[in-house]
Amino acid sequence: MTLKVYNTLKREKETFVPLKAGKVGMYVCGPTTYDFIHLGNARPLVVFDTVRRYLEYSGYEVDYIQNFTDIDDKIINRANEVGEDPIQLAARFVEEYFQDAKALNVRPATIHPKVSTHMGDIIAMIRKLEEKGHAYEMEGDVYFSIPSFKDYGKLSGRSQEDMQAGARVEVDERKRHAMDFALWKKVKPGEPSWDSPWGKGRPGWHIECSAMSQKYLGDSFDIHGGGQDLIFPHHENEIAQSEACTGNAPMARYWLHNGFITVNQEKMSKSLGNFFTLRQILKKFSGDVVRFYLLSTHYRSPLDFDDTKLEAAQKGLQRLRTGRRLLEEALKDAARQSGNRRPAAQREKLADQWTKTKHDFCEAMDDDFNTALALSLLFDLARETNAFLHGGEGLGAEDLELLRHVAETFDQLAGVMGIELAETAEAADDSLVDGLMDLLISLRGEARKKKDWATADKIRDGLKELAIIIEDTPQGARWKKG
RNA sequence: GGCGGCAUCGCCAAGUGGUAAGGCAAAGGUCUGCAAAACCUUUAUUCCCCGGUUCGAAUCCGGGUGCCGCCUCCA
């Protein structure tokens, strides 16, 4: 099977072929750390973390680089507002970022480079651009010269003429071309600054990604990811800087861009004021519900946000978890393992579904990471597994072996999506709670034997208040955290 | 004005030429003391509209309508 990815550069799906066999170099634009991330920021984190997991599942060794923009106008402005040192403020939100990422089960990148610790690399690249005639200095500022790079516009599909006509920003008169952009900004009073050949100053926004991706992944690498709004100007400018600097093209072979989160069909953004921070959302829903919700739509489609969507995601995820739990109980319940194996037809039906699931899952993910389809396959497998368990009492050795395979597949495939279905060890390992629950359940069992429904229901309702659900089964009552 | 995307059941959503996945919600049934969970059954002759190509289109082409995004910091 071959992986196909939609490449923004070509505007079509292409077969993915890495530069080096068995290895993938991947760069994803990370956040500017001046505040908590919002849900819109969370989407690329989850999407590209899933891309990474699937590449690894497919056997690739992945070098995953995600930067932090820790020097920037927004950071300086925020720092001035709250009276905090900008470098310190940025560092603080880097820490907060890692907490959010962990809640979403987003693994740390191989390397998380920061602008503030790569000044030498950035300055060296600007100098090289200057030497090659792609950059010019004006009174301490350095600009990239658009006309010096003939491919400018190839990612976003604009011609240089289009852009000149469409330029609405106030044009700095000193620039040679309206669209020339800053590589280095001369220091202003009260701003953090670094020494450079052009005097004190700080880097422009785009140069960091060119310098840092080159440092860690080389002149040319496999995948560059980010949100659709970065296509222009950010990624267009990265291409100009990197390819002008090295003379090699392409900077990245595959450009992947995720769609936006919208609220009432409008883009969620800070300027519209319609954003929700991840922290706000995590007060009502767990990180894996948010992750499940984000992956339930293809990554390039827009995704509309509201609570009802997350509630639906929560219930769907719960259904998968229940299926996984019933499976675990069957595997552990010695009483059911009576040796009366199921009819072969029943077993074959489940075995077929199991085989089909593994195959179709890869096919779905190979088709430009179709996580929505991939997740639906887990539902199909869950239904078939539940039906199998529902279809009789005893389980023979062959049945158990099959169920163990199914359980393993559930965990593996859900793991590719970054979702834990099996109860985690830490959640299961609470002997005090277990002991108390055993006691309550046995008391309730005695009440039920005496048909004392009032007492039995009081215990069940009381526990429900504490978010513990009691379910009666022919094998006795069981409980779970709601 | 330039460039791009989207329109599929009440809601979400997959499906790029072969006769509409999946989830949530809803209805009926099995199980249950009642529940819960699970299972079974039902719920789009139809994919924004109008033409066209084709043996055959949600899927391709043309036109229209509506919505959204980028072109300025933004994931």
Residue with nearest Cα to nucleotide B1 C1': A166
* Nearest-angstrom CA–CA distance, A115 and A184: 13
Helix (H, G, I), strand (E, B) or coil at A7: strand
Which DSSP string do the residues of A243-272 spell out, in sequence order? HHHHS-S-SEEEEEEE--EEETTEE--TTT
If one compares A253 and A480, the residue with the highest pLDDT of the two is: A253
Give CA separation, A17 vs A123, A245, A312, in Å.
Answer: 33, 25, 37
> A447: which residues sit within 8 A by CB, 6+ positions away?
A453, A455, A456, A459
Q: Tell me the HSE value of A232 on the side-chain side, using a 13 A CA sphere.
A: 15
Q: How confident is the model at residue A163 (pLDDT cuts 50, 70, 90)?
A: low
Interatomic separation, CA of residue A67 and C1' of nucleotide B5, rounded (Å): 28
A302 is near strand B: CB distance < 7 Å: yes
Give CA separation, A251 vs A144, A157, A179, A224, A476, in Å.
Answer: 17, 17, 21, 9, 62
Chain A window 191-210, residues with Cβ within 7 A of nucleic strand B: 205
User: Tell me: the pLDDT tens digits for A3-43?
Assistant: 999 999 998 899 999 999 999 999 999 999 999 999 999 99
Helix (H, G, I), strand (E, B) or coil at A470: strand
Residue with nearest Cα to nucleotide B24 C1': A312
Can you give the length of chain A in residues?
A: 482
Q: Where in chain A are all domains bearing CATH 3.40.50.620?
A: 4-304
User: Tell me: the pLDDT tens digits for A259-317?
Assistant: 999 998 889 988 788 999 999 999 999 999 999 999 999 999 999 999 999 999 999 99
> Is A234 marked as a binding-site residue?
yes
Alpha helices in A10-148 (DSSP H): 39-57, 73-82, 86-103, 119-131
Q: Which two tokens stand for residue A227?
A: 């949100």
Q: What element of type H or E holds A428?
A: helix A425-428
User: Tell me: the pLDDT tens digits for A377-423?
Assistant: 999 999 999 999 998 888 999 999 999 999 999 999 999 999 999 97
A278 is near strand B: CB distance < 7 Å: no
Q: Which two tokens stand for residue A161?
A: 């003429």
Amino acid at position A274, single letter: N
Q: Where in chain A are all domains bearing CATH 1.10.730?
A: 322-426
Closest CA to A413 of A356, A328, A348: A356
Helix (H, G, I), strand (E, B) or coil at A153: coil
Nearest nucleotide to A384 (CA to C1') is B39
* Nearest-angstrom CA–CA distance, A438 and A139: 76
Q: Which two tokens stand for residue A278?
A: 């991840």
Measure CA A457 to chain center: 42
The CATH architecture annotation of domain A322-426 reads Orthogonal Bundle (1.10)
Q: How confident is the model at residue A133 (pLDDT cuts 50, 70, 90)?
A: very high
Q: How confident is the model at residue A171 (pLDDT cuts 50, 70, 90)?
A: low
As for the ipTM of the complex, it is 0.95
A473 is near strand B: CB distance < 7 Å: yes
Question: How much is the pLDDT for A119?
Answer: 97
Could you tell me which residues are beta bridge partners of residue A138? A141
A171 is near strand B: CB distance < 7 Å: no
Helix (H, G, I), strand (E, B) or coil at A114: strand
Strand B bases contacted by the protein (CB, 7 Å):
1-6, 11-16, 21-25, 31-40, 67-75
Interatomic separation, CA of residue A304 and C1' of nucleotide B18, rounded (Å): 33
> Is A175 marked as a binding-site residue?
no
Q: How confident is the model at residue A476 (pLDDT cuts 50, 70, 90)?
A: confident
* Nearest-angstrom CA–CA distance, A341 and A347: 9
A390 is near strand B: CB distance < 7 Å: yes
Nearest nucleotide to A39 (CA to C1') is B75
> Is A114 marked as a binding-site residue?
no
Question: How much is the pLDDT for A166?
Answer: 46
- Topology adopted by domain A4-304: Rossmann fold (3.40.50)
Q: How confident is the model at residue A59 (pLDDT cuts 50, 70, 90)?
A: very high
pLDDT > 80? residue A359: yes
